[in-house]
Amino acid sequence: MTLHAFSKNTESIVYEPITTPSILAAVPECLRNTLQTSISKTQKRRKSVLISSNSLANRFILSRWGIRPSQRRHYRNLFAAVRKHCRAVFKHTLAQGHLEWESASERYVFGVYKFDEIRGNLILSFVIVSPDSEWFLKPRSST
């Protein structure tokens, strides 16, 4: 694990993980895992799942480095970089209008809608679409 240091106004030094492009490339996989987990946990399939870019960033950081959101002040640069990247991933996914992938056992298809945006925290609604459905969302033009 690559670390860099920054010093606060105090005399202590905190070591913080560096976010490289190859590490950040795993964020979409974290999004897919989050969606798979949320739809498989419920007995009754929900029609939509809401995920915010900040919650995805927190989940990614926790799974990658074991750093909890409550430690955000100590790892300010890490959280800022990952949150910025998650917003970019969300904006790209929203522009596509859909998200789909295949796992070993199932094909997943989601329509993507903007639910809200609060102070840069983008909240998307992922609507489950039956894979055998002929209904398909066209990519949206960026606004």
User: What would the pLDDT profile of 34-57 be if each residue is shown by its tens digit?
Assistant: 999 888 776 566 678 999 999 999
Mean pLDDT per 10-residue section of the chain, whose length is 143 residues: 50 77 96 90 73 98 96 94 98 94 88 94 91 59 53
For the chain, which residues make up each domain, given as ranges? 21-128
Structure pTM? Answer: 0.82
Instruction: Please tell me the predicted confidence (pLDDT) of residue 46.
Output: 66
Collapsing DSSP to helix, strand or coil, 68 comes out as: coil
Buried b (16+ CB within 10 A) or exposed e, 44-61: eeeeebebbbbebbbbbb
| Residue 115, number of CB atoms within 10 A of its CB | 14
Other beta carbons within 10 Å of 65: 18
